């Protein structure tokens, strides 16, 4: 059984005869595409029609249609060999030549060993003696490494971990406001990364502390250069959790204005998107419109009662609870009702996080959000 024939466009009989003879003055007349030529060359060597040692001379005798570096040429060889190695129907003698070809490419430094180890199957690497452990063991190790990198979660025990790292972090962030040198942010970034690595700190908690300090020092420009070292997708989640904390029934304190200003700054500087943080705020648009319509309807009804007189009403009618709508409301009573409405509405507006964020945008001069 032999390999299926391929139509060779460039590795034909005449050039092949010259390459076998080792003629150093021979040159291919026309430029050749690198990928197709290397493909035909590899198949020719695997069939045994051209010795491996003639490969370098063959490459020197051709001119490619495009500029190809040594790294790109080695990558092309590795891709073709890896693809050929997946042919399970290849005869044994041809597969033996393919293995020898891979070894020769590594020994001649045309292809780095690392490239073959990245792209070839474990069985082929074991046959070519490019790995020191068996293919089955390597597969198991690969599965364990991928599981650890992609699926294993790092758990941080926040109750038992040492607080020294966080103490140093807070001290660094608080002292950073006094440092106004040009490379202050670069130095601080390096120290923060060192603290995370040395004390095994939770990066999300470190990001939370950075935002807390930024909230207390909104005019410190150093924090704007610290935030990009953390994932942007985590910023909206952390800020959203802060807003959700103040939405709990047991929390009676309003959202601090510094949090609104911090969020507005991060939206203005495009660290987070407004839609991502808006989803965490209360009230929702539907609830806000519902409250507004109910409040407007109530105020309109009260306004319509001002100065309304029922000429047919008697003293008994005025004392009847069912006809209170016919009672005249004078101007002083209307003013009292307005004062009560404002007091009733102020608490609701104070707890409106969407309105608070709007004031945050105004405080940072962002009028085009």
Q: How far apart are CA 366 and CA 73, in angstroms?
A: 53
What's the average model confidence in pLDDT over 166-188?
79
302 vs 207, more confident:
207
Q: How far apart are CA 237 and CA 263, in angstroms?
A: 12
| pLDDT mean across residues, the chain | 82
In this predicted structure, what is the pLDDT of residue 323? 47
User: Does the pLDDT of residue 325 top 50, yes or no?
Assistant: no
User: Does the pLDDT of residue 100 top 90, yes or no?
Assistant: yes
What's the average model confidence in pLDDT over 68-92?
90
Residue 332 — very low, low, confident or very high, per pLDDT cuts 50/70/90?
low
Weakest-pLDDT range from 38-42, 185-189, 236-240: 185-189
Q: What are the tens digits of pLDDT across the range 300-311?
A: 776 676 655 555
Q: How far is CA 299 from CA 288, 323, 324, 329, in A?
A: 16, 19, 17, 14
In this predicted structure, what is the pLDDT of residue 105? 93
Weakest-pLDDT range from 79-88, 154-163, 166-175: 154-163
In this predicted structure, what is the pLDDT of residue 1? 45
Q: How far apart are CA 114 and CA 342, in angstroms?
A: 74
157 vs 247, more confident:
247
What's the average model confidence in pLDDT over 257-280?
90
Q: How far apart are CA 350 and CA 356, in angstroms?
A: 8
Q: Taking the domains of the chain in order of start, what are their residue ranges?
A: 13-120, 164-278, 285-351
* Closest to 99 (Cα-Cα) out of 136, 52, 138: 52
User: Does the pLDDT of residue 140 top 90, yes or no?
Assistant: no
Q: Is 71 helix (H, G, I), strand (E, B) or coil?
A: helix
Helix or strand holding residue 232 (H, E): helix 232-245
Q: What are the tens digits of pLDDT across the range 30-72?
A: 899 999 999 999 999 998 889 999 898 899 899 999 998 999 9
In this predicted structure, what is the pLDDT of residue 36? 92
In this predicted structure, what is the pLDDT of residue 367? 73
pTM, to two decimals: 0.48
What's the average model confidence in pLDDT over 148-168?
72
Q: Is 329 helix (H, G, I), strand (E, B) or coil?
A: strand
User: Does the pLDDT of residue 277 top 70, yes or no?
Assistant: yes
Percent over 70 (pLDDT), the chain? 81
In this predicted structure, what is the pLDDT of residue 349? 67
In this predicted structure, what is the pLDDT of residue 319? 53
């Amino acid at each position: 059984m032999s390999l299926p024939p391929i139509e060779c466009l460039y590795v034909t009989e005449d050039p092949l005869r010259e390459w076998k003879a080792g003629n150093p003055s021979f040159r291919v007349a026309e430029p050749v595409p690198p990928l197709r030529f290397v493909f035909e060359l590899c198949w020719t060597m695997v069939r045994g029609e051209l010795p491996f040692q003639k490969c370098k001379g063959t490459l020197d005798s051709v001119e490619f249609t495009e500029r190809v570096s040594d790294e790109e040429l080695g990558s092309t060889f590795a891709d073709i060999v890896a693809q050929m190695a997946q042919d399970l129907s290849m005869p044994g003698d041809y597969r033996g030549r393919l293995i020898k070809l891979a070894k020769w490419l590594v020994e001649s430094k045309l292809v780095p060993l690392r490239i073959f180890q990245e792209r070839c199957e474990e069985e082929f690497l074991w046959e070519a003696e490019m790995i020191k452990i068996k293919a089955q063991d390597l597969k198991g190790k690969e599965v364990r490494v991928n599981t650890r990198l992609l699926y294993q979660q790092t758990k941080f025990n926040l109750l038992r971990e040492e607080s020294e790292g966080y103490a140093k972090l807070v001290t660094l962030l608080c002292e950073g406001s006094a440092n106004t040198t040009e490379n202050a942010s670069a130095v601080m970034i390096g120290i923060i990364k060192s603290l995370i690595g040395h004390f095994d700190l939770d990066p999300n908690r470190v990001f939370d502390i950075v935002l807390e300090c930024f909230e207390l020092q909104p005019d410190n420009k150093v924090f704007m250069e610290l935030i990009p070292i953390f994932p942007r997708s985590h910023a909206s989640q952390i800020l959203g959790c802060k807003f959700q904390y103040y939405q709990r029934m047991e929390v009676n304190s309003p959202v601090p204005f510094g949090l609104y200003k911090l969020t507005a700054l991060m939206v203005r500087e495009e660290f987070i998107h407004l839609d991502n943080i808006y989803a965490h705020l209360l009230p929702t648009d539907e609830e806000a419109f519902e409250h507004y319509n109910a409040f407007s309807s109530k105020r309109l009804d009260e306004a319509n009662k001002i100065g309304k007189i029922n000429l047919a009403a008697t003293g008994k009618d005025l004392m009847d609870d069912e006809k209170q709508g016919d009672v005249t409301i004078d101007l002083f009573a209307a003013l009292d009702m307005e004062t009560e409405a404002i007091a009733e509405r102020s608490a609701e507006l104070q707890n409106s996080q969407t309105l608070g964020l709007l004031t945050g945008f105004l405080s940072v001069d962002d009028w085009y959000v």
